Amino acid sequence: MTVTEKKTSSALFPSLLILLGLAFFAKLWLGQGIVYSPKSDIIAQGVGVKALFQESLKQEGRLLLWNPAVNCGTPAHANPLAMFTFPPHWLYLFLPVDRATNLIFLLNVLGAGLAMYVLALRLLKQKASAFFCAAGYMLCHRCLQMIDTGWLAPLSMYALTPLLFWSLDSLIERPIGRRAVTLAIILGLCLSQGFTQGFYYALLGSLFFVAYRLRGRDRLDYAKASALLAVAGVLGLLIDAPDLLPRLEFISLSTRLNFDYAFCIHGAPSWPDLKTLIDPLQAAGAEPWEKNFYFGLWLYPPILFACWKRGRQHLPLIAACAVLFLFCFDTPLLKSAYAVVPGFRLFRHPWRVLMLEQAALLILAGKGLDIMWQERKDPASCRTFSCAWAAVALLGLALASGWKSPPLAASAAWLLLPALWFALQRPIKAWSIAGLCLLPILDGGWRLAPVTTPLATIFPDQAFYAPLKREKLHGRIAAIGRTAIPYGAAGYLGIDMANGYEPLNLKNFEDYFSILKFGDPGKIAAGSISWTDLEAIAKPDMLRALDIEYLISNGPQPLEKIDFEPIGTFADVPVFSFYKGMVRVPVRVWRDLRPLGSAYFATSIKKVADAGSSLMALAAAASVRDAYVLDLDRSADSLGFLGGTAQMTRKGYDDYSYRIVSRGENFLILSQVWYPGWQAGIDGRETRLYRTNHALLGCFVPPGEHTLRLRMTSSKLKTGLLLFAFGVLGMGALWTLKTSAL
């Protein structure tokens, strides 16, 4: 065979994989609008963040550090789900939000298929078996479900997981510098993507994989591989430091550290959920994709064949699949992991480990296809292989009849074709095994094929939004109910919200918001918080202290009692409702008659010792103008508390300006959420900011007229960039290092 023929042969299956993906996901690159479903996270959250990122680059020419559209402001770049620096997301630099989003989904699914093909080539013997695994990984129900639910970050980790195990196996096989650099780059990508939970589970799995692969090595080889693995890990951390350090800072100040086992396993699977092993539509609950065990009916016959023929040989892989399966249930194993394994308690829904199990089961199925190829001339093996397909098909048909599930009946019926084909064919052909790649499409592709919808249809720009937008320099908007203004639309529409939906939230703000709603620190929710809903208003002045100028709701509210006047009622407004899709609802808007504004002067100032004291003082305070300040380092005796005027003159994203007229020396409270990184200057001279009233900012201002500039910075990002440079230099040195020098 010539070199050209070898290249053609090597490129055949990857090319077919790409063509298959482009054909099935044609709407992602040909369709108009954005990939859409009523339960899509990218619609409910991601669109707003990406639109703000683009506007920040356009107006301020810098990476977005602060997201003003959610929860009165929250970290942007430090939020793992933002993924501004993740390479596929660079498409947002020059493409519209909808187009970039679709292409990123497409790159992820194609990348997932190619990554699985590369891994399967290392672990399997036949290219046809590897192609089956790759197509199955790309087109299986779990992957399509992630697109349907708008899981842009989890899908990225899903695509990277096979590459992680491939690079580990490659380095262990031949521990040289260049392979260590490859592993470091892949680790850096895994850290850069936003699904930290998925990477954490993959990392735990890789530890056992590495231990298994290193067994039996001689001491020198073991030491060399271990050293390069450690070096690659350190380099991976260094090159992702610009993302990692800001994220760690955010997490340390978030509600995510409110550890709670009940929150971790809320909605844990039960035995009835095991029906989804056969039929994904048997899942119950508001989020049926979360505890869905469906790996693909087409996957089970080759797995059964592999276990039947060489179960002992594949015992480590079978055991790994069993352990991953057990982690989905509230068992002593899960409780032990929650209590003992570092970092495990940071995440909820441990059954998301099923993404990792999908890959493991596909490799096991590929092993079965390899065995069939080796024994393709043996009539007994062919009969056993055919019987495995027939058995699964008949089981599916029987259960479909009992459960009255036509989709399951259709999926099961397709399996009778390979059962008959393999029973008649002698010997088995490679293209017959590769042809099994069509089964995932026949099984579930027709259920979850992506659809697209124009963004203007999902988030129509209503006329009454105009006075609510941030460029008017008005105050913020608080929504009573989730369909008054869809939380995820705020950033896209240019509206600053006081509440919203974010899986990672600042604890200081959530504590403040709970006091605002209920007036009682005892009602602060335990565990992490994702939805900041305004169910009640116990302390209206705390609402005003957040510069809430407008309240918006779907129905009548007794807001006149707290001096909010109705300014409009709008009927039959189309809005996006998370999990329901597009609905038409009435919308009412109220405006505050006694606004405090974006900055206001304190009438008293007191030092508090810690965050707990600050929270209690906030709950008991008679007025929001009473400033309770942490880390107060100067005397307030000289303050006359004579007040003055303060007006915002520029509302950027990371950059704000105020015109201050102070009658004497005063203490100014800013309605910006406290977070490390805020820097302030008065007339160009830096001034210290203080954490005030638990969740806000404050500063001393001298007498007279001044310009106050407030900017969000990130020292962690600067440190991370320096570490990134060291990481790149380290990789360059390792790349040129000769094997003999190790």
Q: How many CB atoms lie within 10 A of CB 597?
A: 16
Domain residue spans in the chain? 111-257+717-742, 259-430, 455-592, 599-653+655-712
Q: Residue 12: enclosing H or E segment and its boundaries?
A: helix 3-24
For residue range 502-520, what is the model confidence (pLDDT) as tens digits?
Answer: 989 999 999 999 999 999 8
- 397-430 CB burial, b ≥16 within 10 A, e <16: bebbeeeebeebbbbbebbbebbeebbeeeebee
Nearest to 509 by CA among 469, 545, 553: 545
Which band of pLDDT confidence, cut at 50, 70 and 90, is reported for residue 739? low
Q: How many CB atoms lie within 10 A of CB 381?
A: 18
Which band of pLDDT confidence, cut at 50, 70 and 90, is reported for residue 443? confident
Classify the C-alpha dihedral 553-556-559-564 as positive or negative: positive
Complete DSSP assignment for 44-58: IIIHHHHHHHHHHHH
Would you say the pTM of this structure is higher than 0.85?
Answer: yes
Which band of pLDDT confidence, cut at 50, 70 and 90, is reported for residue 526? confident
For residue range 468-483, what is the model confidence (pLDDT) as tens digits?
Answer: 888 777 899 999 999 9
- Residue pair 376/427 in contact by the 8 Å Cβ criterion: yes
Facing residues of 704 across strands? 662
Return d(Cα 297, Cα 362) in angstroms, integer.
12
Return d(Cα 715, Cα 404) in angstroms, integer.
59
pLDDT confidence of residue 268: 87
Tokens standing for 381? 């093996």
pLDDT at 2 over 50: no
Q: From start to end of 422-563, where are the E strands?
A: 452-453, 476-480, 500-501, 531-532, 548-553
Phi and psi dihedrals of 500, rounded to 5?
160, -165
pLDDT confidence of residue 9: 63
C-alpha distances in Å from residue 77, one per residue of 199, 236, 391, 716: 19, 19, 51, 11
How many helices (H) and strands (E) are present in the chain, helices listed first?
Answer: 29, 21
pLDDT confidence of residue 421: 84
More confidently predicted of 412 and 528: 412
> How do beta strands 626-630 and 604-608 pair?
parallel
pLDDT at 629 over 80: yes
Percent of the chain scored above 90 by pLDDT? 77
For residue range 352-405, what is the model confidence (pLDDT) as tens digits?
Answer: 999 999 999 999 999 999 998 888 888 888 889 999 999 999 999 999 999 999
**Over residues 339-350, mean pLDDT:** 90
- Residue pair 742/227 in contact by the 8 Å Cβ criterion: yes
pLDDT confidence of residue 522: 86
Return d(Cα 693, Cα 578) in angstroms, integer.
33
Tokens standing for 494? 């240019």
Nearest to 247 by CA among 725, 717, 721, 678: 717
Classify the C-alpha dihedral 329-333-339-345 as positive or negative: negative
Which band of pLDDT confidence, cut at 50, 70 and 90, is reported for residue 738? low
State the residue for tokens 């797995």.
303
Complete DSSP assignment for 559-619: GGGGTEEEEEEEEEEEEEETTTEEEEEEEEEEEESS---SEEE-SEEEEESSHHHHHHHHH
pLDDT at 203 over 60: yes
More confidently predicted of 484 and 108: 108
Average pLDDT, the chain: 91
**Over residues 222-230, mean pLDDT:** 93
Which residues, in sequence order, are CB contacts of 263 under 8 Å at separation 6+? 348, 526, 527, 528
**Over residues 693-716, mean pLDDT:** 96
Reported residue count of the chain is 742
Return d(Cα 483, Cα 19) in angstroms, integer.
40
pLDDT confidence of residue 533: 93
pLDDT confidence of residue 251: 94
pLDDT confidence of residue 394: 95
Which band of pLDDT confidence, cut at 50, 70 and 90, is reported for residue 7? very low
Which residues, in sequence order, are CB contacts of 214 under 8 Å at separation 6+? 172, 222, 225, 226
Complete DSSP assignment for 361-414: HHHHHHHHHHHHHHTTT-HHHHHHHHHHHHHHHHHHHHHHHHHT-HHHHHHHHH
pLDDT at 435 over 50: yes
C-alpha distances in Å from residue 449, one per residue of 19, 120, 445: 16, 25, 5
More confidently predicted of 233 and 32: 233
Q: Indicate left, alpha or beta for 703 from its phi (over 0: left) and psi (-120 to 50: alpha).
A: beta
Which band of pLDDT confidence, cut at 50, 70 and 90, is reported for residue 532? very high
Nearest to 36 by CA among 453, 334, 541: 453
Phi and psi dihedrals of 589, rounded to 5?
-125, 135
Phi and psi dihedrals of 576, rounded to 5?
-90, 125
For residue range 414-425, what is the model confidence (pLDDT) as tens digits?
Answer: 999 888 888 877
